Structure 1
Amino acid sequence: MESSGSLPLMRTTLDQEKSAKDFLSSRNIIRKGIDKRLDRAKEEVISKLELVKRHGGGITLDFAKKSVDYIAMTGHFIDENWIKQDFVLSFSPVEAGAKKTSQFVQ
């Protein structure tokens, strides 16, 4: 293996140089994979929200403790097997130094 700039180059048996571009998926393949994962995640959240409606449950807002600034929205319910289920609906950064009390949530 040789190096050309910051990307290593591999030599094949025919002495042809290959770069990282030759081994990585195209942007279209990566985009399609991300889209599929997003669709699956969306379906999962919708199905879990249906379970919250059916079995009862709640949605909570949780702020970070100490120095990390974020807010998370989490769904909670008890499933048909009496097992507590939790799932994250949203996770977002909060402006550094923002007050983290319910009075300031909008």
Structure 2
Amino acid sequence: MTLDQEGIINAICEHMAERKQLDPSKIEVDLQWEEHLGFSAEVAVDGRTQILVEANMLEAIERYLFKHFDRRVFRSQLELDVEDEMFCIVKDE
């Protein structure tokens, strides 16, 4: 299974909305990848921004897959990658 960029953004929006007790539509996410820093996401909530590191992104994806696809996955089964856009490979183990 592969989760596309939109799925990753939705996962992060839902995760942050739960944590901040807001509607997911109030969350803005900008996915980022830099060769020397790796994967991250800039999240804007109520005019404030914070950076999520890869581990936080993977946590959001784990919860999203369980909630929407009834799939319980471990961190070792998730691999972020980028070509034209970011995506997440979900490995069956």
Normalising to structure 2: TM-score of the pair? 0.34
